[in-house]
Amino acid sequence: MKIKHSSKPYHLMMMPGTLFLVVFNVIPIVGLVIAFQRYNPVAPFFGLASEFVGLKNFKTIFAMHPDSRQVIVNTLIIAVSKIVGSLVVPVVFALLLNECLRKGLKRLIQTVVYLPHFLSWVIVGAMFRQIFSATGIVNSLMQSLNVLTEPIMFMASNAWFRPIVIFTDIWKGFGYSAVVYIAAITAIDMNLYEAADIDGAGRWQKMGYITIPSIMPTIILMTTLALGNVLNAGSDQILNMYNPIVYQTGDILDTFVYRIGLVNLQFHLATAVGLTKSVISMLLIIASYKLADRFAGYRIF
């Protein structure tokens, strides 16, 4: 039987959601014109009446602002390191967890390592600022082991800030990211392992010839989808961990936009940076979806 009735109720159901999207998502897109204007905060509604200045704001911020180049470099270094780390660590963890044969222990480990993902960066940032502080456990431990005589100011050190940011991000997410791989490993046909056992394969051979090839599609999928994050270095994290001393290595596009726009109130310059980031990110996400579809047969809908 073919179901067919009027689409009116369907439109009605779509209405509230669509309305919110139009107001809170579409109007800000229109508001991106600020990027091409000399912004005038007193002009009505988005300053549509403001003077049009073409690409001047982009030039001011990208060619003349002393920090913009460093910010882009920081963003790329932090984001790409996070992407690589967040692909490798969860895969290794899932593979090792698979070798743990005690069910109860396995569940306990999973319960603990998933938890950090659900904590906010405010909390995680506070914890790690303490751990890496002059009197935190890292410094105390190293001093009691006589590795250090003077405490290292990790959070105020441009040499340490990026490694710490990358480490804490992996710390927070590796357990949760491992879930997909654990699920993929669970789905592997046990007969393959039994056949390998009969052939006399060892642990690493089974891992190399059965487990890893079986989860390869999932690894490829996660890699391609991660591509969309090349410009997302994680502002929630940075805002909770940085301070002016480490702007040089820790300031990223999103925090830069936040400070120029909402702290220094240079709306037009911040919007120019934001628009550039949005456009590049969109292209990256589209490319990643295309690649994911091509190599892993993944479609979001």
Binding residues for other proteins restricted to 128-147, rule: CB under 8 A: 128-131, 133-137, 139-140
Note whether 238 binds other proteins by CB under 8 A: no
Site for other proteins in 5-24 (CB under 8 A): 5, 7, 9-11, 13-14, 16-18, 20-21, 23-24
Note whether 195 binds other proteins by CB under 8 A: no
Note whether 243 binds other proteins by CB under 8 A: yes
Joined tokens for residue 39: 């912004």
3-state percent helix, strand, coil for the chain, nearest multiple of 5:
75, 0, 25
List phi, psi (to 5°) of 169.
-65, -45
Q: Which of 71, 72, 164, 184 binds other proteins (CB under 8 A)?
A: 184
C-beta of 199: minimal distance to other proteins in Å? Answer: 12
Distance CA 98, CA 59 (A): 53
Site for other proteins in 212-231 (CB under 8 A): 218, 221-222
Q: Which of 84, 180, 220, 227 binds other proteins (CB under 8 A)?
A: 180
Residue number with CB closer to other proteins (78 or 257): 257
User: Do residues 288 and 198 make contact, with C-beta atoms less than 8 angstroms apart?
Assistant: no
What is the DSSP code (8-state) at residue 24?
I
How far from 208 is each of 17, 157, 202, 215, 296, CA to CA, in Å?
48, 41, 10, 11, 20
Whole-number CA gyration radius for the chain: 25
Residue number with CB closer to other proteins (7 or 146): 7
Site for other proteins in 100-129 (CB under 8 A): 100, 108-109, 111-116, 118-129
Note whether 53 binds other proteins by CB under 8 A: no
Q: Which region holds residue 5: left if phi is over 0, alpha if psi is between -120 and 50, else beta?
A: beta
Residue number with CB closer to other proteins (76 or 134): 134
Residue number with CB closer to other proteins (108 or 216): 108
Three-state secondary structure call for residue 148: coil
